[in-house]
Amino acid sequence: MNEPQTLVDKLWSSHTITQREDDAALLWVDRHYIHEGSFHAFSQMKAYGRAIAEPGLTFGVADHYVPTRGRGHAIANPEIAAMVHNLETNATQSHITLFGLDDPRQGIVHVVGPEQGLTLPGLLIVCGDSHTSTHGAFGAYAFGIGASEVAHVLMTQTLWQKKPKRMRVTVDGQAAVGVGAKDIALAIIAQVGADGAQGHAIEFAGSAITALTMEGRMTLCNMSIEAGGRCGMVAPDATTYSYVKGRPYAPSGAAFDQAVEAWSALVSDDGASFDREVSLHAATIAPIITWGTTPDDALPIDARVPDPARETDPVRAEYLRNALDYMGLTAGKKLTEIAIDRIFIGSCTNSRIEDLRAAAAVLAGRVSKVPGLISPGSSIVKRQAEEEGLDRIFRDAGLEWADSGCSMCVGINGDIVASGERCASTTNRNFRGRQGPGARTHLMSPAMVAAAAVSGHLADVRPLLAGRTP
């Protein structure tokens, strides 16, 4: 009998073409997503005098550098304009489908792929962006790659990789009202550490995971990178199939039924062996925010800022002192007493329609005490939000409703947090300067960002949801 296999094992073996003596395998790539930052790879390809191997399997999306304001007008910043134009030129010359700036389907690559039905269970998906792990929510093997690897995929539609270790994170039980996928993700990262899953492919399992919507699963897999994982994934199920069905690039009719039959085998077998197992119970997870400069600096909202004086490890104590200094925080202060300067809702982590609804549920009929920017994950999400009247809720609260793009997550398109300002953000990273030089970022869910907006400080969303539909 065959040895029981994990989901990772099944996806790996189904894409392995050949294997070298050093155990690296040549893998077939089913989907290759590119963005403006992929221009280095095209330059390498042209330098070798090569053409793209499978243009029908590569899809371009304008997202990292695109402006979120002033759509319909020429891009004022010449460097940003050049980046967007470069992508358009490379896509045209290589006969690649592009969801460009003027395309009604434009958005963040990790929102557009699933939205269009390009991301499907069982596929191997790569992109020159670390948060490609998002697509693992569909039971796909998805991970970010570097510029030279992007060039290799363009020229061969293959990639050399070494098989990661296997890690399963099981979250059972029912999460409380006001606790969502972002809170679960931050709780996991806080438990295992920013490097705790290094070298591992993470499979998320358990009743709390299967209860998540596809939007929630995408948030969870997106954040798997912040635990050091190579990728994250969730086995496909009825929730997955329902989301995929009817999307533009998804199989249809009899082909869809056949696909579902094949996708149903993409589960870890009973008795399959994992290199590491981690367990959490959803009922113990409270709304969580980060206080420091890495995503594992995460605590429940009712906690206090850590005190370096209480730390016995001198290296850890020094880290805490430096983090508190950068963040402008005092040891022992209640997290709920930390005032904020602005908020941001967006990014490939939390910018889908479900995320916007969660924020609107808190903001409806209330006014934000600080300025803020809301950037939907795609042009389609933006239109849907406007049809549902969510944009009016945000505007009435005093917040800015922008167009789709990576925006203030990475701060390379002009949307930044000013030096010294504190931002409650739905993004995935709180590294020093991530949202702008000197910016101080607190990561949290969309509902928690909305709670901070109407409070003017970090706040527990649960009391604000009383009598409302989260």
SS3 per-residue string spanning 312-324? CCHHHHHHHHHHH
CATH classification for the domain delimited by 165-236+268-284, as one of 3.40.50.720, 3.90.180.10, 3.40.1060.10, 3.40.190.10:
3.40.1060.10
Asked if pLDDT for residue 3 goes beyond 70, the answer is: yes
Q: What is the pLDDT of residues 166-215, one digit of tens each?
A: 999 999 999 999 999 999 999 999 999 999 999 999 999 999 999 999 99
Q: What is the pLDDT of residues 273-324, one digit of tens each?
A: 999 999 999 999 999 999 999 999 999 999 999 999 999 999 999 999 999 9
Q: How many angstroms separate the CA atoms of 467 and 303, rounded?
A: 25
How many alpha carbons fall within 13 Å on the CB side of residue 28?
Answer: 12
For range 7-18, the mean pLDDT: 98
- pTM for the full predicted model: 0.97
| 7-163 against 288-462: fold identical | yes
What pLDDT is recorded for position 288?
98
Where do runs of H (alpha helix) occur along 52-108? 78-93
State the greatest distance between any 2 C-alpha atoms of the chain, in Å, as a whole number.
65
CA distances from 202 to 99, 197, 227 (A): 30, 8, 10
What pLDDT is recorded for position 51?
95
Q: How many angstroms separate the CA atoms of 425 and 446, rounded?
A: 8
> Which CATH number applies to 7-163?
3.30.499.10
Asked if pLDDT for residue 18 goes beyond 80, the answer is: yes
Q: What is the pLDDT of residues 435-456, one digit of tens each?
A: 999 999 999 999 999 999 999 9
Q: How many angstroms separate the CA atoms of 434 and 244, rounded?
A: 33
CATH classification for the domain delimited by 288-462, as one of 3.40.50.2300, 3.40.50.1000, 3.30.230.10, 3.30.499.10:
3.30.499.10
What pLDDT is recorded for position 123?
98
Asked if pLDDT for residue 1 goes beyond 70, the answer is: no
What pLDDT is recorded for position 195?
93
| Mean pLDDT for the chain overall | 97
What angle is formed at CA 82 by the lines to CA 76 and CA 83, rounded to 5 degrees?
A: 110
Asked if pLDDT for residue 394 goes beyond 60, the answer is: yes
Residues 179 and 219 sit within 8 Å (Cβ to Cβ): no
For range 151-156, the mean pLDDT: 98
Asked if pLDDT for residue 257 goes beyond 80, the answer is: yes
Tokens in use for 52? 């793209």
For range 215-242, the mean pLDDT: 98
Where are the domains positioned within the chain? Answer: 7-163, 165-236+268-284, 288-462
For range 53-77, the mean pLDDT: 93
What pLDDT is recorded for position 470?
63
